[in-house]
């Protein structure tokens, strides 16, 4: 059943290799199947043709994070923000990438921006609580975790 959407998007690309939406959607399907290198390759092909495509930049960045390449994820995520600075999810994932590099002040700023844009972003609250704890500000951590859990009780600190 999972191969069917992949096959359909590949068929669409065979018919029209420049069909950007098909390439993005194929990359998303591959990402969801945890085929991260293949997904990254699809997003990169979009960027080769349209270097400022915000969805391809965002998707490449999140895929690189999943591949354990947070340092490489920062560039496409920053580029995605240059195209769409009000994307709370992009600020969140940039924060995640920066957190994995132990750049805590930058991480905190990105997560706070994500929350300013989307006050109900439960994952950003949880990530921010980790930053507070790591920076020795534990009094803020429980508040952030509580706010995140209130929005999504399945979150784990």
- In this predicted structure, the answer to whether residue 22 has a pLDDT above a threshold of 90 is no
Together in a domain, 3 and 79 = yes
On whether residue 96 sits in a domain, the answer given is no
Together in a domain, 109 and 74 = no
Count of structural domains within the chain = 2
What is the full DSSP assignment across 80-148? HHHH-TT-HHHHHHHHHHHHHTT-HHHHHHHHHHHHHH-TT-HHHHHHHHHHHHHTT-TTTHHHHHHHH
According to the model, what pLDDT value does residue 143 have?
56
Together in a domain, 1 and 48 = yes
On whether residue 69 sits in a domain, the answer given is yes
Which two three-digit tokens encode residue 107? 């991480």
The mean of the pLDDT values for the chain is 85
Together in a domain, 3 and 67 = yes
According to the model, what pLDDT value does residue 28 have?
93
According to the model, what pLDDT value does residue 137 have?
79
Together in a domain, 72 and 131 = no
How far apart are the C-alpha atoms of 52 and 108, rounded to whole Å?
26
Three-state SS letters, 30-71: HHHCCCHHHHHHHHHHHHHHCCCCHHHHHHHHHHHHHCCCHH
On whether residue 41 sits in a domain, the answer given is yes
Together in a domain, 154 and 115 = yes
According to the model, what pLDDT value does residue 157 have?
46
- In this predicted structure, the answer to whether residue 40 has a pLDDT above a threshold of 90 is yes
Expressed as residue numbers, the domain containing 156 is 105-157
Mean pLDDT lowest among 31-40, 48-57, 82-91, 140-149: 140-149
| Residue 142, domain CATH | 1.25.40.10
Of residues 5 and 57, more confidence is placed in 57
């Amino acid at each position: 059943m999972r191969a069917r959407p992949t096959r359909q998007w590949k068929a669409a690309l065979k018919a029209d290799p420049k069909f950007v939406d098909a390439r993005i959607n194929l990359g998303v399907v591959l990402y969801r199947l945890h085929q991260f290198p293949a997904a990254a390759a699809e997003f990169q092909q979009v960027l080769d043709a349209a270097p400022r495509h915000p969805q391809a930049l965002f998707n490449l960045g999140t895929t690189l994070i999943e591949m354990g390449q947070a340092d490489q994820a920062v560039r496409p995520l920053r580029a995605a923000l240059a195209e769409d600075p009000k994307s709370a999810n992009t600020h969140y994932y940039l924060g995640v990438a920066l957190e994995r590099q132990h750049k805590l002040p930058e991480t905190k700023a990105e997560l706070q921006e994500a929350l300013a844009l989307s006050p109900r972003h439960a994952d950003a609250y949880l990530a921010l609580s980790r930053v507070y704890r790591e920076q020795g500000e534990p009094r803020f951590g429980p508040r952030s975790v509580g706010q995140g859990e209130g929005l999504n009780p399945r979150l784990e600190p």
